[in-house]
Amino acid sequence: MTDKLIIDGSHGEGGGQILRSALSLSAITGRPVRIEKLRANRKKPGLAAQHLTSVRAAAMLCDAEVKGAELGSQTLQFIPRKPVRAGDYFLDVAHAREGGSAGAVMLVLQTLLPPLALATGVSNVMLRGGTHVDMSPSYDYVHDVWLPTLARMGVRAELSLMRSGWYPVGRGEVKLRIEGAEKLLPLRLEHRGPLRAVTGRALVANLPAHICERMAAHARYLLEQAGMAAKIETVVMKAACPGAGLYLTAHYENSLAGFGAQGKRGKPAEQVAEEACFALLQHYRSGAALEQHLADQLILPTALCRGESVFGVERISPHLVTNAWVVERFGLARIDIVPAADGTGFVKILASG
Ligand SMILES: Nc1ncnc2c1ncn2[C@@H]1O[C@H](COP(=O)(O)OP(=O)(O)OP(=O)(O)O)[C@@H](O)[C@H]1O
């Protein structure tokens, strides 16, 4: 067995991403890990329901022996016993906490996807929990931005939304079908090229239709003022509790960029539109190929290719730097992050495959 890797969960951003990346990489490489000071930089440190679900998910993939898999645990030991197995998996974030949870299932998916993308065979994964949760990728972001970008690297995955799930109840459901590939291809996204289109979805669940009409109309107006004609559809759906959000995608010739904002009680629909459009326009003005979230979410997949990937990013976030650090701890790639004078940056990943 290879040496156990000790990872300091308080390093850099010190949040849940260190755990998820370490789990994915441990499952893929078979290298045991011990993660200490888990989520030390968060108000409530240790494992929350979403993180515990990610631990269970990763353990299922490689039949891992796990110690410390409890809510609030600040140390986790994860020892893979078998190579990652493609197959059918079901995970419900609500099983991790009595009384349920709206924990973000897209973050559980973030953990499962790299190992399954490299496993032999087809996997079908059903995830239940929050599908549109603040501070995490929404279903729309994963469907419209992350997966299409990964498809360019040879990841063959399809994602469907069966039911949306919002804070505080969750209980949304998504289905992922993924076909393992022998190898992933490097990604070159130095320059984004011209803007070709802006598309989007205004969603409401268990709320009046005028809320999503207003989010969409105001977003169209704001983008039109900036010279962009946006195609935004409105969707009214049912869920276990009310929710609203606007999710936009900027389609550049060479890259995609996603921007979202969530509604909440007392927050006008127009403000939701402003937040999403402001983020899109800020990225547009930066001239960079990627927005900050896609950049940190591409670190793992590009580190699993053989060869050099490069991308330009609007902002070098602590998530990006911390994720690069986790990958380097596993010795999978050399990652250079080069800031530019205007606040943007370039990331170069030299992966050994
Ligand atoms: N609006 C957004 N669109 C796309 N991705 C997002 C968005 N907001 C956050 N993310 C992504 O969600 C992930 C959050 O990681 P983070 O370490 O903060 O994890 P977490 O598990 O939510 O935990 P914590 O509670 O520890 O912060 C990052 O990959 C980040 O890029």
* % helix, strand, coil for the chain, step of 5: 35, 30, 35
Q: Is the CB of 309 under 6 A from ligand 1?
A: no
Cα 50 to middle of ligand 1, angstroms: 12
Cα 298 to middle of ligand 1, angstroms: 13
φ, ψ for residue 133 (rounded to 5)?
-125, 135
Q: Is the CB of 107 under 6 A from ligand 1?
A: yes
Q: How far are the Cα atoms of 19, 24, 134, 300, 341 from residue 117, in angstroms, in the given order?
A: 19, 11, 26, 12, 36
The span from the CA of 251 to the CA of 256, in Å, is 5
Instruction: Determine whether 210 is an active site residue.
Output: no
What residue owns the CA closest to ligand 1's atom 30? 293
Q: Is the CB of 15 under 6 A from ligand 1?
A: yes
- Tell me the domain boundaries of the chain: 5-182, 195-286, 291-353
pLDDT in tens, 197-206: 999 999 999 9
CATH fold label, 5-182? UDP-n-acetylglucosamine1-carboxyvinyl-transferase; Chain (3.65.10)
For residue 296, say whether it is annotated as part of any ligand binding site. Answer: yes
Ranking 29-43, 89-103, 165-179, 295-309 by mean pLDDT, the lowest is 89-103
Q: Is the CB of 42 under 6 A from ligand 1?
A: yes
Alpha carbon distance, N-terminus to C-terminus of the chain: 20
pLDDT in tens, 239-262: 999 999 999 999 999 999 999 999
What residue owns the CA closest to ligand 1's atom 20? 16
| Residues of the chain above pLDDT 90, percent | 96
- Tell me the Ramachandran region of residue 212: left when phi exceeds 0, alpha when psi lies from -120 to 50, beta otherwise: alpha
Q: Is the CB of 260 under 6 A from ligand 1?
A: yes
**Is the domain 195-286 a CATH 3.40.50.20 member?**
no
Give the nearest ligand 1 atom to 13 CA: 17
ipTM of the complex: 0.95
- 260: CB partners within 8 A, 6+ apart: 138, 140, 141, 245, 246, 247, 248, 276
pTM of the model: 0.97
What residue owns the CA closest to ligand 1's atom 3? 137
The span from the CA of 317 to the CA of 251, in Å, is 22
Cα 137 to middle of ligand 1, angstroms: 7
What average pLDDT does this structure show over 294-311? 97
Taking the domain 291-353, which CATH number applies?
Answer: 3.30.1370
| Residues of the chain above pLDDT 70, percent | 100
